[in-house]
A and B are shown apart, each in its own frame.
Chain A
Amino acid sequence: MSAPVESTDFGVYVHIPFCSRRCDYCAFATWTDRDHLIGEYVDAVCLELDRSVSSGELVSATSVFFGGGTPSLIPGELLVRILDRIPLAPDAEVTVECNPDTVTAELAAIYFAGGVNRVSFGVQSMVPHVLTALGRTHDPASVARAVGFARNAGFLKLNLDLIYGGAGETLDDWCETLDAVIALRPTHVSAYALTIEPGTPLASDPARHPDDDDQADKYLAAEERLRNAGLLNYEISNWAVPGDECRHNELYWAQGDYLGFGCAAHSHRQGRRWWNVRTPDRYIETVAAGESTEASFELLDPEHRHVEGLRLALRTNVGVPSDALSDEDRELLDPLLEEAGGRLRLTVDGRLLANEVAVRLR
């Protein structure tokens, strides 16, 4: 990506709200005690998709993203059944988020045969004590195994999600994670600074809260190691082999249109944003009753949309037009920015202080 393009892409997000255990940092709409609803839930999603197709609303998608929750927790056939409903553009990107624990050779094969062409594994860390501190279940060995299954099944695009800054994680631990992940030769890495989300077990335990300086050091370590491994940063928390950027996420950051299916899924079209009812139970009920699954919506006025667009673009290597900051702010923020071709992009230090820049965009 180099210049901003009015994206003609169109994405579909499918939410799978089931997990085997809730991680201590997680605030996503997911449930650990509703597995008995999986069948009905998938039926409901399929029904909503069918309705959307016949109403002409859902047209061919350039990207599909199964997120969660843990999409890999539901039987592969069910996931493929959902995917089958979605009209796809040629070369569409189809991603499934997986928990490494739940990936088997069979599952990988079903996905690949069913049209999935990108998998994303929630690795978080390759150091056991860090995983425990995050409240994760898998052991590092299962990551290599899952990656192997995916490769054997034919997957070329492979993302690994990481979290840094968990309690007790040293800089060495983090570098160990990075090295181990790089050794698995992913085409894409998302590395997130552990964020304390309100209402999570982590939030109520200040002893496990991350330290900004520590996370800054770890970010710089990630940037260095990933870059040396040929993975280039293209959004604050995302690195990819050039050409293998996540098309679906790029759509979000370019304020493109997308439709979300399933409970708590968000959609956006031309400045109107809406989201579905939050629980799977409610979702199944509303779909069955033939009612709208929309819980609420938000309309962005042009000014608001403009600023939001700048803030999103700032996070990516697309950057923002040079006049998006006042001269005074430009001067103040000088070390955080570099200018080329009439656009401002964040430097590495700037990426760590992106909020300071974002709040001054105009």
Chain B
Amino acid sequence: MASLDRFRNLCIIAHIDHGKSTLADRMLELCGAVDPRDMRAQYLDSMDIERERGITIKLQSVRLDYRDHVLHLIDTPGHVDFGYEVSRSLAACEGAILLVDAAQGIEAQTLANCYLALENNLEIVAALNKIDLPAADPDRYAAEIEKVLGIPANEILRVSAKTGEGVSELLDAVVERIPAPEGDPDATLQGLIFDSHFDQYRGVVSSVRIMNGTLRTGERVKFVQAGSVYSAEEIGVRRPDPTPIASLGAGEVGYLIAGIKDVGEARSGETITTPVHPAPALEGYLEPKPMVFCGLYPIDGDEFTSLREALDKLRLNDSSYTFQPESSGALGFGFRCGFLGLLHMEIVRERLEREFNLSLIATAPSVQYVVHKENGDIITIDNPSELPTSTEVSLVEEPFLRATILTPTAYTGTLMELCQARRGEMIKIEYLSPERMELVYELPLAEVVTDFFDQMKSRTQGYASLDYEPAGYRSSELVKVDILLNAVPVDAFSMIVHKDKAYNYGLRMTEKLKELIPRQLFDVPIQAAIGGRIIARETVKAKRKDVLAKCYGGDISRKNKLLEKQKAGKKRMKNIGRVEVPQEAFVSALRLDD
């Protein structure tokens, strides 16, 4: 049997924007995988949303022929919200290229992802990227990596993913240092599904790493956790175009299509084996816990079922979000969804809209609270409108994060100020290197969910970076601010905030809504209230004029069309306390920025 020596399975990990996907481009070229005419920057970022935003969201695997070796390369995302993609990639690899921007040095996800790779016993090949930049200082950052991560400076490669300099040396180092996979191609089939997506025509398409045995086209395959058996309709490798092959042996990475139409099957973390004498299940993945929640509602109430289907299908490709039906007096029927972060929330929403042709309203992001009631009950809520009245509540706990911020020393002061303003408690402050500081704070997640990240970036000209992990619950002085429209509370706008920030939220929301709600036939009061106490108030004055000045013979039909349009517009409005609220008002009022 061909030995596994030829194979190398690796992923590229780094902080966001340090050049992983661009490095993958050079590797694709060097290995002749993409016709030069078809080449484009960040070739593996294939989703529109990735290309528009210039970031990687999904892991992408590709098989490359390099000299006598076959490389299975996985490009991973760098943003903290997509850390689960990195974890899943690691499980399919024996090594990782840790890429570090030679003009930035170590940043928060450099550390986080490196530690993750070490926990998975991966061989790390470190490389400084962007050495073509005038601001690059590879010597300095090689020393930093050595000091912080213990990787000898002389083992750190230097590349430019832009010019291609040093990339073949890097591949040589990969072949040399990363061990070949182990496994027995003749043993019972045992493979790990590390990613899946739903294809409209083919059904579920899974990325799989074979640990032992051989997966052959046409053979029966058992999915251990699901307990189901399908036949392997098509097996292939991505080069990067999907290319069918007859079989995938131990140590190899490829894809499997088994004609599965049920999106509940063949999920990431699933083990595949043979139906007779099956191998035991591999260690699957620990699904991450969502941290940020919001309600997603179809703008058109009739699309509720389509939204449910879309959520089911997309979850196959991104199992890190959760969803549960809920209803809102203002928005109708929708789902309360949990995400790993704000960007994740934004991306999932956008993908649902694009890939499934939906128009959605997202409510304000919230975290999960633990409420201790006077009667001794303890409940968990992730929708502010579920908070019982203050007399029933004895205590509310909110989730905290342990946030690690890496920053050039010059910005330490401003960052401490920011963390304090966000109710943070300092845990640690330490020099990583002479120029770089590590700050560790425990912060309420709710404070980070708002604009913490943007504030951090703008206060440090983008130089600081943030990584975080859950750090349990703590009781806080929290209140629920309700927004009332014509004296009727609008659940979609309710928010749980710290008592010191309640007034501010009330003021901002009422002011915003005043601009967004069109004038009605009567004065419309917009109030913010805590319990029964009004903390802010605005009024949308009754409209006085809404009439077409003139209607003569030549334009009766035109004027009628204008009225029809106005009438259709009314249909699209939600009626709350007799107030007609346009959908756009919800969308804009609940938008996170401004």
> Is the beta-carbon distance between A212 and B543 smaller than 8 angstroms?
yes
- Choose among A192, A298, A355 the residue that contacts B563 (Cβ–Cβ < 8 A): A355
- Choose among A212, A265, A268, A332 the residue that contacts B544 (Cβ–Cβ < 8 A): A212
| B522-561 Cβ-contact flags toward A at 8 Å (1 or 0) | 0000000000000000000001111111111111110010
> Is the beta-carbon distance between A315 and B563 smaller than 8 angstroms?
no
List residues of B (556-571) whose CB comes within 8 Å of A's CBs: 556-557, 560, 563, 566-567, 570
> Is the beta-carbon distance between B563 and A358 smaller than 8 angstroms?
yes
B521 at the interface (CB under 8 A from A): yes
- Choose among A192, A216, A359 the residue that contacts B549 (Cβ–Cβ < 8 A): A192
Contact partners of B548 in chain A: CB under 8 A: 195, 354-355
Interface residue count on the A side (C-beta < 8 Å) = 41
A296 smallest CB distance to B (angstroms): 11
With contacts A193-B547, A351-B547, A355-B547 taken as known, whether A312 is within 8 angstroms of B554 at the C-beta atoms is no
User: What is the count of residue pairs linking A and B with beta-carbon distances less than 8 angstroms?
Assistant: 84
| A324-351 Cβ-contact flags toward B at 8 Å (1 or 0) | 0000000011001000000000000101
Residue ID in chain A nearest B548 by CB atoms? A355
Residue ID in chain A nearest B567 by CB atoms? A359
Contact partners of B567 in chain A: CB under 8 A: 359
A274 smallest CB distance to B (angstroms): 11
Contact partners of B544 in chain A: CB under 8 A: 212-213, 216, 349, 352-353
For the complex, what is the distance from the CA of A268 to the CA of B548, rounded to whole Å?
Answer: 21
B121 smallest CB distance to A (angstroms): 65
For the complex, what is the distance from the CA of A306 to the CA of B210, rounded to whole Å?
Answer: 72
- Choose among B554, B560, B563, B566 the residue that contacts A266 (Cβ–Cβ < 8 A): B554
A273 at the interface (CB under 8 A from B): yes
- Choose among A236, A249, A273 the residue that contacts B547 (Cβ–Cβ < 8 A): A236
> Is the beta-carbon distance between A195 and B550 smaller than 8 angstroms?
yes
> Is the beta-carbon distance between A315 and B521 smaller than 8 angstroms?
no
A252 at the interface (CB under 8 A from B): yes
List residues of B (280-318) whose CB comes within 8 Å of A's CBs: none
- Chain B contact-residue range equals 20 to 34
- Could you say which of B547, B549, B552, B570 has the most chain A C-beta atoms within 10 Å of its C-beta? B547
- Could you say which of A193, A312, A359 has the most chain B C-beta atoms within 10 Å of its C-beta? A359
- Choose among A219, A253, A298 the residue that contacts B545 (Cβ–Cβ < 8 A): A219
With contacts A216-B544, A353-B543, A358-B563 taken as known, whether A264 is within 8 angstroms of B554 at the C-beta atoms is yes
| A204-239 Cβ-contact flags toward B at 8 Å (1 or 0) | 000000001101100100000000000000001100
> Is the beta-carbon distance between A275 and B545 smaller than 8 angstroms?
no
> Is the beta-carbon distance between B551 and A315 smaller than 8 angstroms?
yes
For the complex, what is the distance from the CA of A128 to the CA of B541, rounded to whole Å?
Answer: 33
Q: Give the interface SS of chain B, mostly helix, strand, loop or mixed.
A: loop
> Is the beta-carbon distance between A311 and B563 smaller than 8 angstroms?
yes
> Is the beta-carbon distance between B550 and A265 smaller than 8 angstroms?
no
A87 smallest CB distance to B (angstroms): 19
Residue ID in chain B nearest A268 by CB atoms? B553
List residues of A (1-36) whose CB comes within 8 Å of B's CBs: 11, 13
> Is the beta-carbon distance between B521 and A359 smaller than 8 angstroms?
no
> Is the beta-carbon distance between A195 and B557 smaller than 8 angstroms?
no
With contacts A252-B556, A275-B554 taken as known, whether A193 is within 8 angstroms of B549 at the C-beta atoms is yes
> Is the beta-carbon distance between A273 and B545 smaller than 8 angstroms?
no
A308 at the interface (CB under 8 A from B): yes
Contact partners of A194 in chain B: CB under 8 A: 549
> Is the beta-carbon distance between A356 and B560 smaller than 8 angstroms?
no
Contact partners of B560 in chain A: CB under 8 A: 308, 311
A312 smallest CB distance to B (angstroms): 7
> Is the beta-carbon distance between A353 and B521 smaller than 8 angstroms?
yes
- Choose among B545, B546, B550, B554 the residue that contacts A237 (Cβ–Cβ < 8 A): B550
- Choose among A216, A219, A258, A332 the residue that contacts B521 (Cβ–Cβ < 8 A): A332
> Is the beta-carbon distance between B553 and A215 smaller than 8 angstroms?
no
With contacts A249-B552, A333-B521, A359-B563 taken as known, whether A353 is within 8 angstroms of B557 at the C-beta atoms is no
Can you sample 18 A-B contacts with CB below 8 Å?
A195-B548, A212-B543, A213-B544, A213-B545, A237-B549, A237-B550, A252-B552, A268-B556, A275-B554, A311-B563, A312-B551, A349-B544, A352-B544, A352-B546, A352-B547, A353-B543, A359-B566, A359-B567
Q: Residues of B at under 8 Å CB distance from A?
A: 521, 543-557, 560, 563, 566-567, 570, 578
3 tightest CB-CB pairs across the interface, nearest first?
A216-B544, A359-B567, A354-B547
Q: Residues of A at under 8 Å CB distance from B?
A: 11, 13, 192-195, 212-213, 215-216, 219, 236-237, 249, 252-253, 258, 260, 264-266, 268, 273, 275, 298, 308, 311-312, 315, 332-333, 336, 349, 351-356, 358-359
Q: A192-B549, A266-B553 are in contact. List 18 more A-B contacts (CB 8 A).
A: A13-B553, A13-B554, A212-B544, A212-B546, A213-B544, A213-B545, A237-B550, A265-B554, A268-B553, A308-B560, A311-B560, A336-B521, A352-B546, A353-B544, A353-B547, A354-B546, A355-B546, A359-B566
